[in-house]
Every structure is written in structure tokens, then in C-alpha cells.
Chains A and B, each alone.
Chain A
Amino acid sequence: MRAKYLIGLGVILGALAYLIFGGLGQNLVYFLTPSEYLQDQGRYQNRPVRLGGLVKQGTVHYDKDQLELRFILTDGVAEVPVVHKGTPPGMFKEGQGVVVEGRFREGVFHGTNLLVKHSETYQAPKAGWTPEEVRKLIEEAK
């Protein structure tokens, strides 16, 4: 009875140690901004990093046949071109905050995972929303 709990306790302590020293250590800086990357380019070449910023207006090109998404990520100061294979997530749009996981190759950021940030503000659609209108809204968001 007791041994079972001790093994369980060992597993939990191991997991905690991993989370705190392995996971959290790196994740205190969850993502880099394009400016931070450009200041210290050598360090991040060919290394997996997370890059966070806004999708620049008018720079999104999505190739439906190749499933290739291209856009420019900006933090207002610096800009970085991003290529991502795969369909964009539902809430991806121009001007949206995103975090891209991937690595740099020859000045282009190759994303393997695209995460979309959303704001903490929740607003109902303006004036008399009917289920049909909302459905259209959701369709448009896709």
C-alpha cells in the first residue's frame, strides 16, 4: 500500500522537476519578437524558436493547392517573412497576434506550428444578431 504511494510521489516529483527546470526555464520567455531576433540573429539560426507578433496587413498569401501560407510578421519595428505549411487556424487573419514555432533558414522563418492569440475582450456582434447572421460571421472568420 505504502510503496505504491511512494512510487506515485516519485513520479509527481519527477514531473514537477521536469516542468520547473525543463519546461518553465525555457518558457519564461515564451516567444521572441522580430526585433529581438534581428538583434541577435546568429544565436537563433537553425535553432527552433517561437516568434510572436502581428500579421502585417495585406501581406497574407495562401496557396490552396500547395497548402502554403506566407505572411509578414511584425512587432511594429522589425519585420520577418514567415512560411508555414498547412491550413491556417480558424481565427487567423490580418492584423491578428500570432505565435509561430519553427526555425530560420536563409532569412525566412519556416513555421511548423502556427498559434493564434486572441484578445481578452469579448464583444457581441453589433445590433440584433440572429443565428443566421452569426453563422455567416463564423463562416467569414474561417
Chain B
Amino acid sequence: MLKVAQPDRPDALTWVFLGLGLLLLPVGLYLALSAPPDVNQGYLVRIMYLHVPGAWLGYLAFFVTFLYSLLYLFRQDPRYDRVASSSAEIGLVFMGLALVTGMLWARPTWGVYWTWEPRLTTTAILFAVYVGYFLLRGAIEDPELRRKAAAAVGILGFINVPISYMSVKWWRSLHQTQSIDLTTGKIHMDPAMLQALLFNLLVFTLLYLGFVRFRSLLAALEARKEEA
């Protein structure tokens, strides 16, 4: 994701991702707010347009961390480690958004903000693991050891992503199963809602790509300053 010659400024692609993402964010909001209400829960269903993209991008960000942690262990190049930690950081933001919006959605529909059911519990564990990832990074002073230890957590921590995703199918839960089911390809949603959801998903993905490139560059600049 970063060029070999270390640049001082974000490259054009980073600006394109960030610019498009920020530009389309209000459009996504408009689509979300003009999408039809649900028969059962009325307008409450609109929290989905934040909740679902947040959770998916969290999963994606942790997957990128997993991938770049592996790359780091094989190639021993600090650039991979910087992308891995940048992605984990942004993943925490998106996962945090999913958790908060989920709680706000749960109170009026389920009746409680939180309950220790499988999807919620595995997601809480997932969140805690990546908070631990950054505490571990902070605790180790030797840069190489820090990167290796972080890569180990980045790889092992990812195991929880498919567990969290499948938790609603594997165990009895309060959380409903996937409305867009990637394992069966079935979609249980009004086309107008699906459109708004997919659009918001696209916006979040653009923002994620922009953020992760920007953050990786910042990490590179930080590392260069430390060396000097």
C-alpha cells in the first residue's frame, strides 16, 4: 500500500478515496433517511445503515491487519507492520461505531442495551483483543520485538472475526441472523433498503481505504522522525 520511495505527502489515490468518501457521505445519509421504514420496527431500521457498514468495515480492517501481519512475518519489512497497525486502529473505530449503534438499536427493539448473547459477546471479545494489540505495542520498547509480537496478535486475533460473523448461526442468539447472508447468498431485505445499505457500505469502504493509506503514511513519517 506504500511506495518504496517514502513520500512526504499523501498520494493522489489516497486523496481520491478520502475525497470521494467524504463527498458521498451526505448522499449515503440522504439515501438512508429516505429509505422506507420497516413494517415491524418503523424508522428504527435506519440505524442499520450505520451499524452494518461499521461492523463489516471493522471485519475488513481486521482482515487487512491479519494479511499485513502475515506479510510482515514473512518479509520482515516494517512497512507491512505500519499498514497492519493502521488498519487495526481504523478497525477499532468502525467496530466501536458498530457496537455503539448496535446498543442504541437494541434498546428500543430488543428492550436492553446489552445482553451476553453470542454475537455481542464474541464482538466484545474481538474489540478487547485489538485494544490489547495497541497496549502490547505500547508496552514493548524494542521495535523489532514489538512488530513481531503485534503481528502474532494481529494473526491470532483474526480467528475471532469468522467466529463473530457465524455466531448467530452456530449458537442460539438474540441477534437476528444475517439479512445479507454471505454463506447462502440470500437477501432478506426490501430492494430500496438494500440499495441504501450497499451505497453506505461503498462510502464506508472508500473512507476506510483513504484512512488506512493516510494513517500508514503518518506512521511512516513518525518512524522516519524517530530514526533521525
* Chain B residues whose CB sits within 8 angstroms of the CB of A124 once the complex forms: 36-39, 190, 192-193
Q: Is A77 an interface residue (CB 8 A)?
A: no
Q: Is B15 an interface residue (CB 8 A)?
A: no
Q: How far is the CA of A121 from the CA of B176 in the complex (A)?
A: 9
Chain A, residue nearest B176 (CB): A120
Binding site for B on A (CB under 8 A): 1-2, 4-6, 8-9, 12-13, 15-16, 19-20, 23-24, 26-31, 52, 89-92, 99, 113-125, 129, 134, 137-138, 141
Q: Is B54 an interface residue (CB 8 A)?
A: no
Chain A, residue nearest B197 (CB): A122
Pick 16 A–B contacts, CB within 8 A, sort by A: A8-B135, A26-B116, A27-B171, A28-B171, A29-B171, A90-B109, A91-B40, A99-B174, A116-B111, A120-B178, A121-B188, A122-B48, A125-B39, A134-B43, A138-B42, A141-B40
Q: Are A122 and B45 in contact (CB under 8 A)?
A: yes
Beyond contacts A116-B109, A118-B176: 15 other A-B pairs, Cβ-Cβ < 8 A, are A2-B139, A5-B138, A19-B125, A23-B116, A27-B121, A30-B171, A30-B173, A30-B174, A89-B108, A118-B110, A121-B179, A123-B190, A134-B37, A134-B42, A138-B42
* Chain A residues whose CB sits within 8 angstroms of the CB of B172 once the complex forms: 29-31, 52
Q: How far is the CA of A20 from the CA of B121 in the complex (A)?
A: 9
Contacts of B161-203 to chain A: CB distance below 8 A: 171-174, 176-179, 188-190, 192-193
